Structure 1
Amino acid sequence: MNKGKKAAMYIFLTICSLLSVFPLYYMACAATNKSVDVSRGKLIPGTYLVENFKTLIANQDLSRALWNSFRNATVLTLICLLVCSLAGYGFEIYHDKGKDIVFAILLTAMMVPFAAIMIPLFRMFSKLKMVNTMAAFMLPSISTPFMIMMFRQASRSFPHDIIEAARLDGLSEIGIFFRMFIPTMKSTYAAALIITFMNAWNNYMWPKVILQTNSSITMPMLVANLLSGYVVDYGMLMLGVLICTIPTVIIFFFFQKSFAEGITGAVK
């Protein structure tokens, strides 16, 4: 590659990077400006951050929303990782034609949008008197076809010789999974953790339907409430969006390296 093509490539990639980062920069700047400045398209940081924060906590229960979102996302992520990894491991290690049929049905379920099953799910949980409970929030998401497929693909790279050796040494099947499979697949678990946590944290539609009390408010619901007034305070709104974004950004950057390795290993 000559110098001209190389320079053009770097310029193109730089422009794409700036375009990708600009919405985040604009959100951060808008969180520090007055609503009128945001409406005017001001692109430099202001000095109104503290006032926007005071207005936000005065109008919304920010601490409760943060706690509910963090608790729901953390518990759901842990349960989902355990259930889906067990299912993916079982589909691959204990392989037979019957399991292939069940797995094909699971993959078919990926094509059904959640909006199509939301009303039947709500009616079912309503009859079971589980509305406004964490169980109703988590049950539709603790096992997803995508996560099961991801762990099944990762299980294909797990050496079967190790499993046979462990069985000869007297290690139980559960022991093989917890003491050998999980430590070996740390990168896959990290990738699944990021995806599951982000989906659970950003989930708006189902919590809005099934969690109907003010005490159950989550961060996406809080951000939506900021848009429900007759006059929208865009500075306060952008600050709410920024606060809602920070936890997922921290999780992603903390597991970034393992995420790349896990995704690569899962699709080999």
Structure 2
Amino acid sequence: MKKLTSLLKYTFLIISSFISIFPFYWMIAGATNTANQIAEGKLTFGDQLFVNLQDLFGAYDIPLIMWNSLKISGVTVILSLIITSLAAFGFEKFTTKTSELIYGLILLFMVIPLASLVIPLFKMMAGLQLVNQHLAIILPAINNLFLIFFFRQNFKSFPNEIIDASKIEGASNYEIFFRVVFPMMKSTYAAAAIYAFMNSWNSYLLPLIFLQTENKYTMTLLISSLSSASYVANYGTQMVAIIIATIPTLILFLFMQKGFVKGMTGSLKM
């Protein structure tokens, strides 16, 4: 019975692993084939990788577009982590009836889809003359409501005794936050940073609405434009672009995966 259970378990894990890994393999293999070969369902590696690379880099300024995405994502991560963690720390450690009401509204606003806010956001950014500017993508993403919720849940485990001791030593609230709380919750910030980066890096709707010229494009807009650039989609070039767009998030996760796992489990470094 135990052998049968183990066999079923490993069979399920193997099938699940195959389903998870196959799209990545197909993406990499597709980058080495022509569009016709991909359309025909070819799953083996070909010899068209450098041709697809030349087509992509010849038609678009990839370094500039990558820099646009990295700049937007990097600034968004830094500002959102600071603002949302400060807000969450205030909600958790300086609780009042009013703050609880505001926090309840924040949780309620989380269910509002972004698509319903496109028109007011566009009017707001147009009024600020930020249309076709990267700042129009960054500003709405800074106040990430999920991160406020995430940070507050982690701050619940932070000992109030440490805060009280720091106050006795004469530290201000901001000194307590940046010199005591932040160093002890690096894992939480690592998890939040990965989430914020991926959320910003993969953002499509806001760049589609606000960015109007190619020199302002992000990688998501580039990949989208490749599918509509001609009557016949060049799948090989699209695969190359997708691989390039995947590299930054892959590198970030590889370097911060330990902190991500600890942060998601509410780890606190004492």
Scaled by the length of structure 1, the TM-score of the pair is 0.96
Q: How far off its partner does 1:134 sit?
A: 2.7
Letter aligned with residue 244 of structure 1: A
Q: How far off its partner does 1:265 sit?
A: 0.8
In the alignment of these two chains, the number of paired residues is 266
Q: Percent identity?
A: 42
User: Which structure 2 residues correspond to residues 193-208 of structure 1 after superposition, within 5 A?
Assistant: 193-208=193-208
CA distance in 2, matches of 1:176, 1:182: 9
Q: Decide whether the 8 Å contact of 2:134 with 2:216 is kept in 1.
A: no
SS state of the match for residue 265, structure 2? helix
Letter aligned with residue 60 of structure 1: Y
CA distance in 1, matches of 2:93, 2:64: 43
CA distance in 2, matches of 1:36, 1:214: 27
CA distance in 2, matches of 1:130, 1:75: 16
User: Which structure 2 residues correspond to residues 98-113 of structure 1 after superposition, within 5 A?
Assistant: 98-113=98-113
Q: Which segment drifts farther, 88-97 or 244-253?
A: 244-253
Q: How far off its partner does 1:46 sit?
A: 1.5
User: Which structure 2 residues correspond to residues 148-187 of structure 1 after superposition, within 5 A?
Assistant: 148-187=148-187
Q: Which residue in 1 is equivalent to 2:223? A: 223
Q: Which residue in 1 is equivalent to 2:243? A: 242
Q: In angstroms, what is the RMSD of aligned CA positions?
A: 1.2
Letter aligned with residue 173 of structure 2: E
Q: How far off its partner does 1:231 sit?
A: 1.5
CA distance in 2, matches of 1:163, 1:217: 45
Q: Decide whether the 8 Å contact of 2:76 with 2:142 is kept in 1.
A: yes
Q: Which segment drifts farther, 67-76 or 124-133?
A: 124-133
Q: Which residue in 2 is equivalent to 1:73? A: 73
**1:63-91 superposed Cα distances (whole Å, 9 cap, x missing partner):** 11101001110011100000000001110
SS state of the match for residue 212, structure 2? coil
Gaps of 5+ in 2: none
SS state of the match for residue 170, structure 1? coil
Letter aligned with residue 183 of structure 1: P
Q: Decide whether the 8 Å contact of 2:65 with 2:217 is kept in 1.
A: yes
Q: Decide whether the 8 Å contact of 2:87 with 2:148 is kept in 1.
A: yes
CA distance in 2, matches of 1:187, 1:176: 18
CA distance in 2, matches of 1:51, 1:178: 50
**1:153-189 superposed Cα distances (whole Å, 9 cap, x missing partner):** 1111111101110111111111100011111111110
Letter aligned with residue 202 of structure 2: N
Q: How far off its partner does 1:102 sit?
A: 0.2
Letter aligned with residue 260 of structure 2: F
Mapped pair 1:213 → 2:213? yes
Q: How far off its partner does 1:135 sit?
A: 2.3
Letter aligned with residue 175 of structure 1: E
Q: Which segment drifts farther, 128-137 or 196-205?
A: 128-137
User: Which structure 2 residues correspond to residues 23-34 of structure 1 after superposition, within 5 A?
Assistant: 23-34=23-34
**1:201-257 superposed Cα distances (whole Å, 9 cap, x missing partner):** 111110111122221111001111111111111111111111111111111222112
CA distance in 2, matches of 1:110, 1:211: 25
**1:110-159 superposed Cα distances (whole Å, 9 cap, x missing partner):** 11000001111101111222212232211111011110010011111111
User: Which structure 2 residues correspond to residues 127-138 of structure 1 after superposition, within 5 A?
Assistant: 127-138=127-138
Letter aligned with residue 251 of structure 2: I
Q: Which residue in 2 is equivalent to 1:255? A: 256
CA distance in 2, matches of 1:47, 1:213: 33
CA distance in 1, matches of 2:215, 2:60: 11
Q: Which residue in 2 is equivalent to 1:97? A: 97
CA distance in 1, matches of 2:255, 2:18: 22
Q: Which residue in 1 is equivalent to 2:48? A: 48
Q: Which segment drifts farther, 210-219 or 23-32?
A: 210-219
